[in-house]
Structure 1
Amino acid sequence: MTTTQHRPILEPYKGPSTRHRCPGCGKPREFTRYIDTQTGQHIAAHVGRCNRENKCGYNYTPRQYFLDNPTEETRAWLQSDQHLKTYTPPLPPPPVDYIPPQYLERTRQQLARNNFYRFLVKLFGEAEAARLADLYKLGTSKKWEDFGGLPVAFWQIDQAGNLRQVKIMAYHPDTGRRIKGKTRIIGKQLKPGGNLMQCLFGEHLLSAAPSAPVAIVESEKTAVIMAGVYPDCLWLATGGKNGARWTAQEVYQALEGRNVVLYPDLDSTEDWAERAKILAAACESVEVSTYLRDNTPPEDHREGYDLADYFIKRLLSPDQEQTTAQADQEDQEGFALPPGWQWEELNLKHGTHRVLIDHDGLPASWNYNPRTKRETLAVMIAEQPLVNSLIQTFDLQL
């Protein structure tokens, strides 16, 4: 080995796999190892520096390692000036750009027409809905119009108050469910050519309450609703399973020293348990809650419910729940009921049954002369439970 072969540097950050468990303090994802720039190989497993300089301070350099493990080659290297030469690292990434603040102010104008806000009013009332909208700086977009209202703008705001990104999402004002195909991330349109880096939704709340526990969910909608249910926690959202690249150090470092509880959707529990190990590098503590898994029936597990879905049912009054169920049914079936038609609950001997009633006040399944395509579709929807019942009762093979 020649003297020019040894040019060790601290391994550049290229994701969580390039950070290791510190041999000094035992913290995972905090140890940066030295690599040989000629070979790209690590010097040794314990040669490196802990990122927690104040709390740990472990720093075992290649020079000390070669002094402790002398060979003729390493002696020659140490006697030369090679170990003093500075390696020129790659150029640092460009600085992060931010969306101009005036865009947020423009979206704060038509809150009364915001369909997501209208759903919050339905859940909590005007005063609490207004508090939540102000807490999370909810905006309103003119991108689409549905059910007489407009979509919500979820702003990603960092701890310093900078606008990192904005997501436009359309919701049904009665069910609170997303309208499929109507979601857009538009930061690049507002800052063309900018180097935008996302952050956790709700991150701006961390500065105002430095000792408050933090709860992290997947969707922005869930974070806002849960802030109304349990206001003692700071509720943040990732914006998706991999939203905001939330397990990247530059994103989760905002949680430094915090006590964090993750509330995964029902179909993400195991995945988030693995991600919790990454966040542990920065957080004081990280837990993965099983509350949702332990308190929901099997059918909710199949649907992949999240925490908001669980509490929405408990927040609605019986009348609201019936209206919401009807709107939800219409939304899933992809049609609105014909004028004068409605769903009714019938309490029969063998249980409660949901029946579609036509404009004459009779079960829609009895209607043999639908007048429009919408009525024809409604009759087909009404007949389906009857067909299913016959199949179950008589074991019919249709």
Structure 2
Amino acid sequence: METFKYSLDKSSKKYVCPNCNKKTFVFYFNTASGEYLPSQYGRCDREQNCSYHNAPPKGKKAYLIEFLLLKQISSKAVKLTDINGLISIIPTSQILEHNMNSCYITEWYLKTSIINYQCNEFKYFNSENDSIINEVKNIKPPDAIKPSYHKLELLDEMYNNNPIQDNLTEYLKTVFSKDEVNNGILNYYGTGTNHFWNNATVFWQIDHKENIRGAKIMLYDKHTGKRIKEPYNHINWLHKAIKQPDFNLNQCLFGLHLIYEDYIKDIAIVESEKTAIIMSLFLPDYIWLATGSKGNFKYKLLEPLKRRNCFAFPDKGEFINWNKTASELSKKGFNIAVSNILEQTDFNNGFDLADYYLIENTIVNNN
């Protein structure tokens, strides 16, 4: 049974209520010392007619956060890596209690952080000496919102019944043979669309259970193969184009549907969907997957790869972040080696593995 530091007096003593002026007011007292709190703290017993209640302050509210690593980096801050691999720098003053693998962090700090905490256990701490002064509550997590899926008929309609040639495919045919491009696009169910922009490319996110989780639409230049970023970044989603406002997008790795087709092949991970397709043509001995963004190299999306041998090729400038994530995930049984090959080039940040191979291919062909 939980013992609270402050509790309402359970004796028959009653005092004048400051709200209704009836002798129905019950004081709070300190359960440790037995002393009454100042007279403004209490509750009126006339719950229907008055219902006045002035509870003593609870102190600092803090949530229990599980972590993989908690490291002191200065006298005023620690580095915390949570169970999802997210890294946060937290003021020491905001960690009110900790043990080997969890700690209580103030709600005030968590509201400004990227740490998921709202369904976690919480309790209150006295702001003077960090002793517990109120109850511990286990909050029932809210019902998870089920992910939405596109119907297979939609993919079939766009891929087979109403095909549209997209600019990216046109560009790839200037680098590879027509058969190579058709086979590469087929593996990923690449399709064209005129939604949002003419001759755009649809990248279908199909998970390892063959659920179609989403479809990203992007526009490329058919002469250079580069994304159109002016006057704005040409990226959108199919569920918005076909007007499904309640579609709950729950992304997976691009190409994830391929991982069970060959258990012998190692898996290679890049950021861009275009890069995954191009590298599958250059190096078909790997299963090529894409995160879709640098921030999607994380546990939630990588979880289906836990028992596979993986190699990650981050864009230039992102090696340190991806390598840190891979190191943390290795503690959970992942086997992901992160390559720094692009960090050794003279190109600008954002340069990716497809750029590297396309340049090498051009040099070889010119010679």
Query: Could you tell me the TM-score, scaled by structure 2's length?
Result: 0.60
Residues 305 and 2 from structure 1, CA distance in 2 versus in 1: closer, same or farther, beyond 3 angstroms? closer
Q: Does the CA contact (< 8 Å) of 1:265 and 1:306 recur in 2?
A: yes
**Alignment match of 2:68 (pick from 20, 23, 36):** 20
Aligned-partner SS, 2:348? helix
Aligned twin of 2:186: 134
Which residue identity is paired with 1:217?
V
Residues 186 and 282 from structure 1, CA distance in 2 versus in 1: closer, same or farther, beyond 3 angstroms? farther
Aligned twin of 2:350: 304
Which residue identity is paired with 2:355?
D
User: Cα deviations across residues 266-320 of structure 1 (Å, max 9, x unaligned)?
Assistant: 12222222222343244542211022233x3x2xx2253111111112334899x
Aligned twin of 2:320: 270
Deviation larger for 116-125 or 156-165: 116-125
Aligned twin of 1:260: 310
Q: Does the CA contact (< 8 Å) of 2:205 and 2:251 recur in 1?
A: yes
**Alignment match of 1:227 (pick from 280, 294, 297):** 280
Aligned twin of 2:222: 173
Q: Does the CA contact (< 8 Å) of 1:167 and 1:185 recur in 2?
A: yes
Aligned twin of 2:263: 210
Residues 1:91 and 2:137 are matched in the alignment: no
Residues 270 and 3 from structure 1, CA distance in 2 versus in 1: closer, same or farther, beyond 3 angstroms? same
Aligned twin of 2:171: 119
Which residue identity is paired with 2:248?
N
Residues 273 and 106 from structure 1, CA distance in 2 versus in 1: closer, same or farther, beyond 3 angstroms? same
Residues 163 and 89 from structure 1, CA distance in 2 versus in 1: closer, same or farther, beyond 3 angstroms? same
Which structure 2 residues correspond to residues 309-324 of structure 1 after superposition, within 5 A? Answer: 309-316=355-362
Alpha-carbon separation, structure 2, partners of 1:93 and 1:215: 31
Alpha-carbon separation, structure 1, partners of 2:101 and 2:4: 23
Deviation larger for 128-137 or 97-106: 97-106
Which residue identity is paired with 1:151?
A
| Count of residues in correspondence between the two structures | 256
Which structure 2 residues correspond to residues 1-398 of structure 1 after superposition, within 5 A? Answer: 3=3, 18-20=66-68, 44-45=99-100, 87=138, 89-109=140-160, 113-143=165-195, 150-180=199-229, 181=232, 182-190=234-242, 191-242=244-295, 245-247=296-298, 249-294=299-344, 296=345, 298=346, 301-302=347-348, 304-316=350-362
Which residue identity is paired with 2:342?
L
Alpha-carbon separation, structure 1, partners of 2:348 and 2:249: 36
User: Cα deviations across residues 94-150 of structure 1 (Å, max 9, x unaligned)?
Assistant: 22221222222222146572211112222221111111111111011113666xxx1
Q: Percent identity?
A: 29
Which residue identity is paired with 1:214?
I
Q: Does the CA contact (< 8 Å) of 2:196 and 2:241 recur in 1?
A: no
Which residue identity is paired with 1:302?
N
Residues 88 and 234 from structure 1, CA distance in 2 versus in 1: closer, same or farther, beyond 3 angstroms? same
The Cα shift of 1:166 comes to 1.1
Structure with greater proportional strand content:
2
Aligned-partner SS, 2:228? strand
Q: Does the CA contact (< 8 Å) of 1:199 and 1:246 recur in 2?
A: no
User: Cα deviations across residues 23-55 of structure 1 (Å, max 9, x unaligned)?
Assistant: xxxxx9669xxxxxxxx976732589xxxxxxx
Alpha-carbon separation, structure 2, partners of 1:135 and 1:196: 23
Alpha-carbon separation, structure 1, partners of 2:335 and 2:349: 30
Aligned-partner SS, 1:302? coil
Calculate the aligned-residue CA RMSD, in Å. Answer: 3.6
Gaps of 5+ in 2: 6-62, 71-80, 85-94, 104-134
Aligned-partner SS, 2:146? coil
Deviation larger for 103-112 or 217-226: 103-112
Q: Does the CA contact (< 8 Å) of 2:152 and 2:212 recur in 1?
A: yes
Residues 283 and 118 from structure 1, CA distance in 2 versus in 1: closer, same or farther, beyond 3 angstroms? farther
Gaps of 5+ in 1: 6-10, 23-27, 32-39, 49-81, 322-398
Alpha-carbon separation, structure 2, partners of 1:158 and 1:293: 31
Which residue identity is paired with 2:336?
V
Alpha-carbon separation, structure 1, partners of 2:67 and 2:258: 28
Alpha-carbon separation, structure 1, partners of 2:246 and 2:226: 33
The Cα shift of 1:173 comes to 1.7
The Cα shift of 1:160 comes to 0.6
Which residue identity is paired with 1:229?
F
Aligned-partner SS, 1:168? strand
Q: Does the CA contact (< 8 Å) of 2:270 and 2:314 recur in 1?
A: yes
Aligned twin of 1:54: none
The Cα shift of 1:174 comes to 2.2
Q: Does the CA contact (< 8 Å) of 2:205 and 2:213 recur in 1?
A: yes
Alpha-carbon separation, structure 2, partners of 1:111 and 1:293: 39
The Cα shift of 1:192 comes to 2.7
